[in-house]
Amino acid sequence: MTAACSSLIAELEEAVHNGSADRRVETLRRVTDLFLGEADRLNDEQIGVFDDVLGALIQRIETKAVAELSSRLAPIDNAPIDVIRRLARHDEITVAGPVLTQSSRLTASDLIEVAKTKSQSHLLAISGRDQIDETVTDVLLNRGNREVANRLATNSGARFSEAGFETLVKAGETDAVLAEKIGIRLDLPIRLLRELLLKATEAVRSRLISLANPEAHDAIKQVLLSISSQVTQEATAPRDFEKALQFVGSLQNDNQLNETVLLEFAKAKQYEEMVVALSLLCKSPIEIIKPLMKSAKGNGLLIPFKAAGLKWETASVILKNRIMRHSISEDDLALYKANFIALSSATAQRTLRFWIVRNTTKSVH
C-alpha cells in the first residue's frame, strides 16, 4: 500500500475519533476515492484495512453520506466485504439498495438473511440483481408483495425452483400484468404454462401471443388451442339438472334455501345446484339463468343476483367459480362490483320480469 494511502487512512482514523461531522464525511470521500483508484492493485490484507476503517466510520456519519458510499462501492468486485454486508443490512433503503442490487460480494446466504428480515423495498432491490439463485427467489416470492413478484418475473437472470414458479403462476391468476410477464419466460415449464393460460383471461391470452418471442410463440399457441377446445367442451357440455331440481327444491319446501346455502354451492363449485338455487331465490325460470351462467361476460348475472338480494361476497364467488376453466381478472371483478353496487333492486327485478315475459312469449311462439 502506498505512503499516501497509509497517511490518508491515518487521517481517517483521527477523523473518526476526534473530527467534526463534516470532516468525517470529507475524509470518507477521499478514502473512497483512494480505494477506487487503487482497488485493482490491492491485496486482501490491504482491502481489510479499508474494511476496518470504513466500517468504523459508517457508524459516525449521516445517512446521506453512507448512501453515497454504498452507491460508489456497489459495483466494485473486490469492495471491502464486511462494509458491503453492513450496508446491505442497513434499514434505510437508500443505503442498502445499491449493494443489494449490484454487489457481487453478497452471497446467497447474505441475500436470504436480508430477504427474511428486512422491508419490501429491500426485497425489491434484491429482485433487480443480474443473477439470483433459486434459494433466494423462493424467499423473495414467499415474503414479497406484488411489486417484487413482477420484478422477478421480468428478470431473465432470476432462477426459480418448481415451487417458486408455482407461486408465481398462482399470483398471476389475479394479476393480468404479472401473468403476461410469466407467460413469456422461456424457462417456465410447459405444465405451469398450461396452468397459467387455463386461468388467464382472453385478453391476457391474446397479449401473450403478441408479446411472445418466436421461441415461446409456438408453445403458447399449442397450449391455447388445447385449452380453447377444453373450454368449449365444458361450456357446451349437456347438464343434468334433474337431481339438483329435486334436492334444492326440497330445501326450499323445508324453508332451508337461502343465500348461505347458495354460497356453499358456489364455493364447492356445485354447478347444477348453484344454478337451481339462484333461479329459485330470484324467482326466475332456470332457462333464464342457464345461459347467463355460461356467458363469458358476467354483467348479465348481476340482474338475478340483485333481484335475489344477494350480497357481493356471494355474487363474486359465483362469478369466479361458475366456469371451471375460465378466469376472471381483478379488474373485471372490480368493474362488476361497481355495477352491482350501482344497480338497484327495483331495476333488477323489473329487468328480470321483462326477461321472463319475453322468454315465455318465445316459448309460446
Q: What is the pLDDT of residue 218?
A: 67
In angstroms, the Cα distances linking 252 to 66, 257, 345 are 71, 5, 22
- Confidence check: pLDDT of 228 > 90: no
Task: Please report which confidence band the pLDDT of residue 365 belongs to, taking 50, 70 and 90 as the band edges.
Answer: very low
What confidence tens digit (pLDDT) does each residue in 176-197 have? Answer: 889 889 988 878 888 888 778 7
Query: Which tops the pLDDT comparison, 77 or 294?
Result: 77
Three-state secondary structure call for residue 158: strand
User: In the chain, what percentage of residues exceed pLDDT 70?
Assistant: 83
**Cα torsion at 291, 296, 300, 306 (round to 10°)?**
100
**Distance from C-alpha of 322 to C-alpha of 242, rounded to nearest angstrom:** 19
- Alpha-helical (H) ranges within 254-301 are 259-267, 271-281, 286-294
Out of 186-190, 283-287, 294-298, give the one with best mean pLDDT: 283-287
Cell (9 digits) for 168: 408465481
- Confidence check: pLDDT of 152 > 60: yes
Asked whether 4 and 34 are in contact (CB, 8 A), the reply is: yes
Out of 13-17, 130-134, 181-185, 294-298, give the one with best mean pLDDT: 130-134
Q: What is the pLDDT of residue 235?
A: 47
Cell (9 digits) for 265: 354451492
Domain borders along the chain are 1-75, 242-364
Return the number of other C-beta atoms located less than 10 Å from residue 249's C-beta: 14
In angstroms, the Cα distances linking 277 to 264, 288, 312, 315 are 11, 13, 16, 13
What confidence tens digit (pLDDT) does each residue in 309-332 have? Answer: 999 999 999 998 886 555 677 778
Q: What are the residues facing 158 on neighbouring strands?
A: 132
Q: What is the pLDDT of residue 6?
A: 59
Q: What is the pLDDT of residue 207?
A: 74
Three-state secondary structure call for residue 65: helix
What confidence tens digit (pLDDT) does each residue in 15-26 have? Answer: 666 656 777 777
**Distance from C-alpha of 329 to C-alpha of 335, rounded to nearest angstrom:** 10
The arithmetic mean of pLDDT across residues 284-305, rounded, is: 89
- Confidence check: pLDDT of 364 > 50: no
Element (H, E) at 257: none
Please tell me what DSSP assigns to residue 301. Answer: G
Q: What is the pLDDT of residue 157?
A: 95
To 5 degrees, how large is the angle CA 93–CA 97–CA 101?
160
What confidence tens digit (pLDDT) does each residue in 28-57 have? Answer: 787 788 787 777 788 888 888 788 878 877
The arithmetic mean of pLDDT across residues 212-217, rounded, is: 64
The mean of the pLDDT values for the chain is 85
Task: Please report which confidence band the pLDDT of residue 8 belongs to, taking 50, 70 and 90 as the band edges.
Answer: low
The arithmetic mean of pLDDT across residues 123-138, rounded, is: 97
The arithmetic mean of pLDDT across residues 63-91, rounded, is: 94
Cell (9 digits) for 252: 326450499
